[in-house]
Amino acid sequence: MSHVLTTAPDALVPFGTNASIEQPFGAVADPHRPTSPNILVIKTDLDASRIGAYAGDGAATANLDRLSKSGTRFTAVAGTPGPPALHLVLDLLADRGYDAAGYDYVDPAIAFLGLRRDAPWAVYLSLPGADADDGVGALDAALRRSEQYRSTLVLLVGSHGARTPTLLAWPGQIAPRQRHDAPITCSDWVPTLLEAADPGATYGLGLDGVDLGVHLFDGGSIPQRPAIRRPRAA
């Protein structure tokens, strides 16, 4: 069952979508990688100067810092615009059997992820910066309380720009306390999430970006590639 989205459609695509989907650098997906995790995407307007994991002691964000330590912190993520016709990541996940919904508030998102269901779920949550740290803490507690912590992939994307603060965690699959400095773009997240959900799901979609999971899981690293790429024609 796919739920009605309760947040603005344009907010559902912070990632962009318009170039090749080939796995870069000859990478091959691990056939033993667990698939179909729950997927929680959190979008906030915090920039790096307001997140302790990036700014140091000048920013008090204990929950965001804990999320950073539990997985990967990216330091060179570029925001990417896209054409008018964009794929909605929640729609793509719903097409693959996910129970998907979008929210602008933490409490209904927590209620949704607490529902009993047979299918994995996907939630897109848009949070203002002032609420982001407390919201992440509440979500973390809810996932642990419902015994879904280890089966949930969490992606947090901050304010877009040349260095978009981005945190990614999936307990047991992404090694903790990683830092990646290789240039990537926000358009890489759609194929990364889809391939985590259903290997091969991006084939034929013509998405911009590449699946980073083949490099991130099991403590891998992201090879260097051009920071500026020509997008595929819409």
| Per-residue pLDDT reduced to its tens digit, 114-168 | 998 899 999 999 999 999 999 999 999 999 999 999 999 999 999 877 789 999 9
Instruction: Provide mean pLDDT across the span 48-60.
Output: 85
- CATH number for 9-15+36-180 (one of 3.40.109.10, 3.40.720.10, 3.50.50.60, 3.40.50.300): it is 3.40.720.10
pLDDT at 66: 96
AA identity, residue 29: A
Q: Look at the block and give the residue holding tokens 């980073």.
A: 212
pLDDT tens digits, residue range 105-125?
999 999 999 998 899 999 999
Lowest mean pLDDT among 86-90, 115-119, 164-168, 227-231: 227-231
> CA 6: distance to chain centroid?
19
pLDDT exceeds 80 at position 86? no
| Percentage of residues of the chain with pLDDT beyond 70 | 75
Q: Look at the block and give the residue holding tokens 């773009």.
A: 185
Q: Give domain limits for the chain.
A: 9-15+36-180
AA identity, residue 193: L
**H-type helices in the chain, by residue range?**
52-55, 62-70, 89-94, 106-113, 129-145, 189-197, 213-216
Give the confidence band of 69 by pLDDT, cuts at 50, 70, 90: very high
Instruction: Provide mean pLDDT across the span 184-204.
Output: 88
Query: Which pair of tokens denotes residue 173?
Result: 């699959």
Burial of 187 (0-12, 13-18, 19+ CB in 10 A): buried
pLDDT at 79: 81
Higher pLDDT, 76 or 21: 76
Query: Which pair of tokens denotes residue 106?
Result: 């933490």
Full-model pTM: 0.80
Q: How many CB atoms lie under 10 A from the CB of residue 221? A: 11
- Degrees, nearest 5: CA angle 97-124-172: 75
72: helix, strand or coil: strand
